[in-house]
């Protein structure tokens, strides 16, 4: 009875969470809200059903924190929330890629957005917690993953000079797909490191800059007021 009640409660919670996600995936502000929800979910405690499933796959061993578990084999309430968040954000990425593909080229603002999409797709791909080989073999045996499609297409589009890729990943063998994923991961890591260095330099520059009070020249008004 307890398990049945818990299952129904989780199903109801998931229904409202997915409705919230659907309402937010139409705008950039909504995308940020979904990303925040995903980060909260990753750092939350694992549900019992998900824990038991992960433990059973390890023949009773402790699966550890769910944030480190492979999304390719995970199940349960928390796993489904992570999947719903990730699917919504990849849908937004793929939607933009489809729109840009119909154009002869993309402008500078769209190039910046494509780069931002790639960085987001990189993070979502890392959340799969699986090696490139495992992901490639999963795609070939179980079917396409939206996270993989968005990640690879953003990467290939950037590498080809910001020409939107229309590559069909399902036609590739696992070795070719694994090679693309490895290249995309290397590119994503490089971009993240560059962004981290740039942010660090900006913080250092702000810390070294003299305050406005120190640099503002004296007008003599305050001294005259004291004397009077």
Query: Which tokens sit at 69?
Result: 């578990």
Mean pLDDT (whole number) for 147-161 = 94
What integer pLDDT is reported at residue 217 of this predicted model? Answer: 52
What integer pLDDT is reported at residue 59 of this predicted model? Answer: 66
DSSP one-letter code for 69: S
Mean pLDDT (whole number) for 135-141 = 92
Instruction: Read off the pLDDT of residues 169-207 as tens digits, 9 standing for 90 and up.
Output: 888 899 999 999 999 999 999 999 998 888 877 777 777
Instruction: Provide DSSP, 162-178.
Output: SPPP---GGGS-HHHHH
The residue that leads in pLDDT, 116 or 214, is: 116
pTM: 0.81
Backbone angles phi, psi at 3, to 5 degrees: -65, -40
Do 139 and 177 form a contact (C-beta atoms < 8 A)? yes
Work out the number of other CB atoms within 10 angstroms of the CB of residue 183: 15
Distance CA 52, CA 62 (A): 9
Length of the chain equals 228
* pLDDT-based confidence at residue 2 (cuts at 50, 70, 90): very low
- Most confident stretch, 3-7, 50-54, 69-73: 69-73
- Quick one: how far is CA 77 from the chain centroid? 19
Residue-wise over 71-96: b if at least 16 C-beta within 10 A, else e? beebbbbbbbbbbbbbbbbbebbbeb
Please state, for a pLDDT cut of 90, what percent of the chain lies above it.
50
Distance CA 187, CA 132 (A): 14
Residue 150 predicted with pLDDT over 50: yes
Residue 120 predicted with pLDDT over 70: yes
Instruction: Read off the pLDDT of residues 59-95 as tens digits, 9 standing for 90 and up.
Output: 666 666 766 778 888 888 888 999 999 999 999 999 9
Do 100 and 138 form a contact (C-beta atoms < 8 A)? no
């Amino acid at each position: 009875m307890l398990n049945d009640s818990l299952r129904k409660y989780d199903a109801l919670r998931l229904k409202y969470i997915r409705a919230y996600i659907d309402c937010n995936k139409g705008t950039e502000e909504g995308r940020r809200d979904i990303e925040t929800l995903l980060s909260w979910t990753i750092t939350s405690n694992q549900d019992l059903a998900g824990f038991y499933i992960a433990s059973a796959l390890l023949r009773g061993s402790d699966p550890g924190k769910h944030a480190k578990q492979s999304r390719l084999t995970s199940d349960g309430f928390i796993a489904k929330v992570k999947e719903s968040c990730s699917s919504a954000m990849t849908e937004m990425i793929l939607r933009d890629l489809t729109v840009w593909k119909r154009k002869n080229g993309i402008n500078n603002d769209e190039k910046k957005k494509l780069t931002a999409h790639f960085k987001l797709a990189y993070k979502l791909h890392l959340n799969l917690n699986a090696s490139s080989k495992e992901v490639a073999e999963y795609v070939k045996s179980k079917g396409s993953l939206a996270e993989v499609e968005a990640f690879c297409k953003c990467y290939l589009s950037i590498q080809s000079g910001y020409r939107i890729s229309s590559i069909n990943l399902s036609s590739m063998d696992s070795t070719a797909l694994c090679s693309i994923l490895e290249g995309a991961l290397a590119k994503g890591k490089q971009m993240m490191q560059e962004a981290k260095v740039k942010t660090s330099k900006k913080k250092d520059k702000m810390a070294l800059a003299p305050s406005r009070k120190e640099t503002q020249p004296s007008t003599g008004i305050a001294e005259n007021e004291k004397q009077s």
